[in-house]
Amino acid sequence: MPTTEGKTIVLGVTGSIAAYKAADITSQLTKLGHTVNVVMTQDAQEFITPLTLKVLSRQPVTSDLYDEKQNWHPGHIELADHADLLLVAPATANVIAKFAHGLADDTLSAIHLATLAPVLIAPAMNGKMWQHVATQENVATLKSRSVDFIGPEEGMLACGYEGIGRLWPVEGIVERVQETLAKGKG
């Protein structure tokens, strides 16, 4: 795996059952020497607490666009400006749609619009949602804008169905992050 120590990664965590895997992603990227700034959607907090990710990243977790009392400079813009990579893992159909349509109604989607860093999305959702024409059109739109995707993979889904929609294995996501950072894209 290429060495890319010391980069700044904004990790977006959305409301998927796979959100618990963000803890492992955060831990592995931090151990590799990266600064991981976690941004959670409100729905993600139904699956994993910000405290878990705060402890593993050793950084504050951002979850509210309007809770920016640190200084005069908007925190989401600061995160967007300093990011070497925006990684969204897991990414729901909802956040993929927001990104494709340029919506910015929460912290994560606002950071997406404001960053010049490369974007890597690791989807996780029900297979029917993944294969829906709207989701596939949104993915195609984002790919046309140089957004990179990893997964989803096939297997048993949390909803009880077998099929495509599982989050890509954490080790594979971390490896793709390292490759993307080594390329110096952005």
Does residue 36 have an active-site annotation? Answer: no
Residue-wise pLDDT tens for the chain (186 aa)? 444 678 999 999 999 999 999 999 999 999 999 999 999 999 999 999 999 999 999 999 998 877 655 554 457 888 999 999 999 999 999 999 999 999 999 999 999 999 999 999 999 999 999 999 999 999 999 999 999 999 998 877 677 777 788 999 999 999 999 999 998 744
Report the alpha-carbon distance of residue 127 to residue 119 in Å, rounded: 23
Q: Alpha-carbon Rg of the chain, whole angstroms?
A: 15
Per-residue pLDDT reduced to its tens digit, 61-93: 998 877 655 554 457 888 999 999 999 999 999
Given the residues 159, 171, 182, 184, select the one marked as catalytic. 159
- State the architecture of 8-183 in CATH terms: 3-Layer(aba) Sandwich (3.40)
Report the alpha-carbon distance of residue 48 to residue 44 in Å, rounded: 6
Alpha helices in 8-92 (DSSP H): 21-31, 50-57, 75-82
Domain ranges of the chain: 8-183
